[in-house]
Amino acid sequence: MDARFDVVGIGNAIVDVLAHADDAFLARHSMTKGTMALIDAETADRLYGDMAPAIECSGGSAANTIAGLASLGGRGAFIGKVKNDELGKVFHHDIEAIGVHFPTTPATDGIATARCLINVTPDAERTMSTFLGACAELGPDDVDEDVVRASKVIYLEGYLWDREEAKAAFVRAAELAHDAGREVSLSLSDAFCVDRHRHSFLELVENHVDILFANEDEILSLYQVDSFDEALQHVRGHCKIAALTRSAKGSVVIHGDDVHIVDAEKNIKVIDTTGAGDAYAAGFLFGYTNGHADDLAHCARLGGIAAAEIISHFGARPETPLNEVVQQKLG
Amino acid sequence: MDARFDVVGIGNAIVDVLAHADDAFLARHSMTKGTMALIDAETADRLYGDMAPAIECSGGSAANTIAGLASLGGRGAFIGKVKNDELGKVFHHDIEAIGVHFPTTPATDGIATARCLINVTPDAERTMSTFLGACAELGPDDVDEDVVRASKVIYLEGYLWDREEAKAAFVRAAELAHDAGREVSLSLSDAFCVDRHRHSFLELVENHVDILFANEDEILSLYQVDSFDEALQHVRGHCKIAALTRSAKGSVVIHGDDVHIVDAEKNIKVIDTTGAGDAYAAGFLFGYTNGHADDLAHCARLGGIAAAEIISHFGARPETPLNEVVQQKLG
């Protein structure tokens, strides 16, 4: 079936504000390292006021994945809500400039464009505090039916589950995609997010998801088990493909009875892990939708290469075009 | 004489928008590589629309210098005008977060905070297009007399010369400083800027400036000569100290009959030259105002170390605290 897009992502449209911090900063603000917490506008102002000098760059989990896909040469679309303010224009510019189709109409009034305050500790781990802002306006009507039907795969971020309207958009998009004979992929996003919505996620994975992305913490949380091996046994058979990332240990892809274990890229100086999982999904889905659906180890390798580029610098979008990075690595 | 601040900078308060570009992009937009051009709001929108995905970070020439001084452990203040909009808040946050005193009241209405669209080519050279925005509101009334009198050195960027009101602020600050027995330093900023205001700058250097910062292009433009040696002969005796930067060739400091030639730092992978000159001035003035005024070669070395950190990554503000970088280099 012809498709205008390889992947359409649906997610929160966010501008990241990245700064260095030490462990004492995290403790002072009662943050759990490596996780994402939702904050209100007042908390965001207070937290920002205490942060070090920062840089701003476009982010958002699914948006990062689609930007990565486009950087690899894939055809991507993104659905997500910004306000028509300065940061909203930044988000809009960046995603279109990388070649992604972005049909969602920005809000003209109401709450500001979402910001994610990201504190990166000396161990390169990122801890995120998100003010969802205009993302609260995303609803089922924003799901562009033509774009969803015209995409080989739709990609949904678990973070959307934190709001009822966004969840409704999410389910509507999944139904549209399946009706059109497309595949549905989901990222579990965050172990705490999984904890908040475990029952829903289990039902989703069982009934709606073809390709599941999760890191080790998230898959352990989903099945409430203590070991990765146990989690593998649980996920097997409950979705078509599960691509599970393990940081420096690489990734494991489960597909029916097949298990592919793929090493992480070597000799990477890790500066900032923000967006690592998003970039992995970008590489994987680029391979999957561009002729390598029968070679999932290759898809996982592409995921690892994309993730390695992202973690080698500050910020979650590629600094070097990912198609060039892949070309260098794989020739 | 006791001083509350080592250096107060007066300059344009700008947020940088940095993206990669190729030489064809510069040609398409009739840009001269390595220079700064002033653009209006409409041109800024059009140019931004054609730029690659970008990152935003605080900039502004003198503001970068004062931020660098603070990062070295110096006591800095900055005078410059933002609007109270999203980018204005970004500028405000970043300069205060690095420890700089920033007394200027933001504009509450009128034109938006200034942006500098910076296109970085594969040779790491930056080409800047500046929409001055709210900087147009800076005038003599914004020069905080107490802060100027309480600073050992005031530092002025030549870019201010492009607007009459800012020029008046500049002259007022220089007079206040001299009346209080302080020293006045000036950066020539840009060869084209020098070309626009050569006569004024010559008069300034002759009558008002104690410490002059310029790169090779700028000092050649100031004296309309073809060789660096000729320029050296011209500047000698016309201001107390001239610190002239020569990119990979390091810098030359002239002080009366003394000439100090200081090598650039070695083995630096140059990613983006934005802010190199600003950082050099930061290091130099930090040394000068912190016990090394009698060792100008040491001041120049500090300038080179600060510049080396800035050009090793995207953006004009330090990624690694400069006091740590100096500690590593000099022990």
Give per-residue pLDDT as tens, A297-313.
999 999 999 999 999 99
Query: Which residues of chain A register pLDDT less than 70?
Result: 1
Pairing label, strands A151-157, A5-10: parallel
Predicted pLDDT of residue A37: 95
Give the separation between CA A175 and CA A182, rounded to whole angstroms.
10
Partners of B261 in beta bridges: B252
Burial of B140 (0-12, 13-18, 19+ CB in 10 A): middle
Find tokens 């205490």 and name the residue: A50
Q: B97, A314: Cβ pair inside 8 Å?
A: no
Give the separation between CA B96 and CA B101, rounded to whole angstroms.
6
Beta-carbon-side half-sphere exposure of residue B217 (alpha carbons within 13 Å):
13
Q: B53, A90: Cβ pair inside 8 Å?
A: no
Q: Report which residue type is found at B190.
A: D
Q: What are the tokens at B306?
A: 């600060």
The Cα-based distances of B69 to B154, B155, B262, B276, B324 in angstroms read: 13, 11, 20, 13, 13
**Chain A hits for B85, Cβ within 8 Å:** 86
- The 10 Å Cβ neighbour count of residue B111 is 16
Spell out the domain ranges in chain A.
5-13+59-111+132-330
Predicted pLDDT of residue B166: 84
Predicted pLDDT of residue A1: 60
**Chain B hits for A86, Cβ within 8 Å:** 85-87, 112
Chain B contact present for A86, CB below 8 A: yes
Tell me the CATH number for domain A5-13+59-111+132-330: 3.40.1190.20
Burial of B158 (0-12, 13-18, 19+ CB in 10 A): buried
pLDDT in tens, chain B (331 residues): 679 999 999 999 999 999 999 999 999 999 999 999 999 999 999 999 999 999 999 999 999 999 999 999 999 999 999 999 999 999 999 999 999 999 999 999 999 999 999 999 999 999 999 999 999 889 899 999 999 999 999 999 999 888 888 888 888 999 999 999 999 999 999 999 999 999 999 999 998 999 999 999 999 999 999 999 999 999 998 899 999 999 999 999 999 999 999 999 999 999 999 999 999 999 999 999 999 999 999 999 999 999 999 999 999 999 999 999 999 999 8
**Chain B hits for A93, Cβ within 8 Å:** 48-49, 51, 53-54
- Quote the DSSP letter at residue A107: B
Give the separation between CA A54 and CA B106, rounded to whole angstroms.
20
**Chain A hits for B275, Cβ within 8 Å:** none
Predicted pLDDT of residue A167: 85
Pairing label, strands A211-215, A241-245: parallel
**Three-class DSSP category at B197:** coil
**Chain A hits for B46, Cβ within 8 Å:** none
Predicted pLDDT of residue B167: 85
Predicted pLDDT of residue A281: 98
Name A307's Cβ contacts closer than 8 Å, sequence gap at least 6. A245, A264, A265, A276, A277, A279, A280, A283
> How do residues A121-175 score in pLDDT, each as one tens digit?
999 999 999 999 999 889 899 999 999 999 999 999 999 888 888 888 888 999 9
Residue of A69, A86, A102, A310 to mutate, testing the B interface (most B Cβ within 10 Å of its Cβ): A86
Residue of A90, A95, A309, A324 to mutate, testing the B interface (most B Cβ within 10 Å of its Cβ): A90
Find tokens 């995207």 and name the residue: B314
Q: Which chain B residue has its CA at the smallest distance from A50's CA?
A: B97
Domain B5-13+60-110+133-330 CATH (choose: 3.40.50.720, 3.40.50.2020, 3.40.1190.20, 3.30.70.20): 3.40.1190.20
Q: A94, B57: Cβ pair inside 8 Å?
A: no
Predicted pLDDT of residue B1: 60
> How do residues B200-218 score in pLDDT, each as one tens digit?
999 999 989 999 999 999 9
Give the separation between CA A67 and CA A74, rounded to whole angstroms.
9
Chain A contact present for B131, CB below 8 A: no
Predicted pLDDT of residue A223: 96
DSSP H stretches of helix in A180-295: 191-196, 198-207, 216-223, 228-235, 276-289
**Chain B hits for A57, Cβ within 8 Å:** 54-56
Partners of A259 in beta bridges: A254
Q: A55, B315: Cβ pair inside 8 Å?
A: yes
Q: Report which residue type is found at A247.
A: S
Give the separation between CA B331 and CA B329, rounded to whole angstroms.
6
DSSP code string of B109-164: SSSPPEEEEEEE-TTS-EEEEEE-GGGGG--GGGS-HHHHHTEEEEEEEGGGGGSH
A48: nearest CB among B52, B93, B98: B93
Chain A contact present for B324, CB below 8 A: no
Tell me how many residue pairs between chain A and chain B have CB atoms under 8 A apart.
61
